Amino acid sequence: MSKLSVDLKKIISHSKEYGYIFPSSEIYDGLSACYDYGPFGVELKRNIKDYWWRSMVKSRLDVVGLDSSIFMHPGIWKASGHVDAFNDPLIDNKDSKKRYRADQLIESYIEKLNSKIEKEVKKAHKRFGDKFDKDQFLQTSVRAQDYLNTITKTTKLMNQYLIEEDYGSLKKLIEEIGIVCPVSGTKNWTDIRKFNLMFSTKIGSVADQATDLYLRPETAQGIFVNFLNVQKTARMKVPFGIAQIGKAFRNEIIARQFIFRMREFEQMEMQFFVRPGEEMKWFDYWKKERIKWHKKIGFSENVLKFHDHENLAHYANAATDIEFKYPFGFKELEGIHSRTDFDLRSHEKHTNKKLQYFDSELGESYTPYVIETSIGLDRMFLAVLCQSYTEELVKENTRIVLKIPPILAPIKVAILPLLKKDNLPEKSKDIYNKLNNFFSCYYEEKDSIGKRYRRQDALGTPFCVTVDHETLDNNSVTLRNRDTMDQVRISIDDLIIQLNNKLSF
Ligand code: GAP
């Protein structure tokens, strides 16, 4: 059995064919960067949310939950800095009329240079064989050094111009390094403009009296403005956290790569309130906790990495991303930010209301500092799909199997009568009714048993229970394992205990 390599296109079409994800408004030719989750997708999504909620809220004494509204007072977005600073630098190519994010154009250019270095390394490795020393090669190869210097210089300038919002220099940088439009192949660029990513709408029935509102671009602000409500009613003592799962909306200029960058998406965010001066200790703590969470469901070391930020957001004094190796490269899956006391202080200033905490141990009041963990549910969903999607050669046929961690799988057990006669369906339905009280089950009698196994493999169902004539004689069934395809014969009476052992952490 050998695993074949996988690309994003296959995952997209598999998701559609097996009821995980459909393009939004498909019969109207779709709506860019919006997606609908089908019958199996919605279950996987719920299981990811449950896994997060259980480890971030239910299993901890120091974190409580919240569900704040999507519409909030527009002043909140002024105070948070989103009205003034939540912008992307936008540039158009005059020939192709295609629109790009200026920073992403430069990042693609840097990625290309990195691939060129990798090519040089591969060539040299082939030439020198076992004696090859990569570090030594990178230090001595003139060409590799050239690429590395360009990458360092370009990254530094880009970050500087982005922080200073010096878009004239940013455009000059694009021209100097010779970036061409991938569609027209020309360097005929417009000036760079600021583009605010928030969607706006209106509240009220009469247009004149309407108030401008924004669809929230992050769930975090709902937590900040409820800080005292939650702290007082749940009797929380600093350090403590508030967690929330909910929709967020961003008018992304370029929304590509399937559900990686959407205009409507879900976030799972937690703000952890700490004493001023203790934020770095807690930042390190949450980095470790969050990477543990990813590894616990089976993400391996080589698909995860930290990426520390140089270009910090307006509210942060430290930030790192947990990146996942998607088919299109390592990209941000989760952000961990030390947000200082920026948000609480800013809301205090804009409302003239105190958002302070009296620390009885210290005998003083202060505005807490905040460590935030923020993960995109849809990006986590995509990471699970990418990690799970497997093509294997089995006896010269390709078997497609979603090796979803059992705890997250939409269906845990499929109950399959071997034949559609001889009382086997009735017996199978009895077993279905019994098991379905404990696990999410599926019953299917159409098609040959081989075809049904393949379909369950493609859906990611970790176990199939097959009911045959022997079942009627001695009350035993076969239990088939999705990943190994092994089958064992076990008594129906032992099924629940056996499955429970395999389906819990
Ligand atoms: N409250 C902090 C915050 O919103 P962020 O890095 O902008 O920080 C947090 O977003 C997470 O939300 C990201 O790590 C990513 O997983 C997810 N996310 C952001 N924009 C997204 C988009 N357009 N589509 C899907 N997920 C997105």
Residue 209 has pLDDT above 80, yes or no: no
239 lines ligand 1 (CB under 6 A): no
CATH class (in words) of the domain with range 411-502: alpha beta
Provide the residue ranges of all domains of the chain, joining segments of one domain with +: 1-72+215-390, 87-196, 411-502
Residue of 32, 223, 267 to mutate, ligand 1, most atoms within 8 A of C-beta: 267
Which pair of tokens denotes residue 301?
Answer: 């070391």
334 lines ligand 1 (CB under 6 A): yes
pLDDT at 157: 94
Which pair of tokens denotes residue 196?
Answer: 């605010």
pLDDT at 398: 92
Confidence of residue 3 (pLDDT cuts 50, 70, 90): very low
Is residue 75 within a helix (H) or strand (E), and if so which, with residue range? Answer: helix 75-79
pLDDT at 310: 78
- Centroid of ligand 1 to alpha carbon of 303 (angstroms): 19
Task: Give the contacts of 385 (CB within 8 A, at least 6 positions apart).
Answer: 11, 15, 20, 402
Task: Give the contacts of 106 (CB within 8 A, at least 6 positions apart).
Answer: 154, 158, 173, 174, 177, 179
Residue 4 has pLDDT above 70, yes or no: no
Mean pLDDT of the chain: 94
- Choose between 313 and 195: higher pLDDT: 195
Confidence of residue 504 (pLDDT cuts 50, 70, 90): confident
Mean pLDDT across 25-31: 95
Mean pLDDT across 218-238: 98
Span 238-295, pLDDT tens digits? 999 999 999 999 999 877 789 999 999 999 999 999 999 999 999 999 999 999 999 9
Q: Whose CA is nearest to atom 18 of ligand 1?
A: 376
Confidence of residue 325 (pLDDT cuts 50, 70, 90): very high
249 lines ligand 1 (CB under 6 A): no
- Centroid of ligand 1 to alpha carbon of 59 (angstroms): 25
pLDDT at 315: 79
From the CA of 217, give the closest atom in ligand 1. Answer: 4
From the CA of 321, give the closest atom in ligand 1. Answer: 14
375 lines ligand 1 (CB under 6 A): yes
Name the fold adopted by 87-196: Herpes Virus-1 (3.30.40)
* Alpha helix ranges (H) inside 62-141: 75-79, 82-85, 102-128, 134-140
Mean pLDDT across 157-164: 89
290 lines ligand 1 (CB under 6 A): no
Backbone angles phi, psi at 347, to 5 degrees: -65, -35
262 lines ligand 1 (CB under 6 A): yes
From the CA of 335, give the closest atom in ligand 1. Answer: 14
* Count of Cβ atoms closer than 10 Å to residue 143 Cβ: 10
CATH class (in words) of the domain with range 1-72+215-390: alpha beta
Instruction: Examine domains 1-72+215-390 and 411-502 and report if their fold is the same.
Output: no
Residue 189 has pLDDT above 60, yes or no: yes
Residue 6 has pLDDT above 80, yes or no: no
Span 70-102, pLDDT tens digits? 999 999 999 999 999 899 999 999 999 999 999
- The CA R_g of the chain, rounded to the nearest whole Å, is 27
Mean pLDDT across 335-363: 97
Backbone angles phi, psi at 19, to 5 degrees: 70, 30
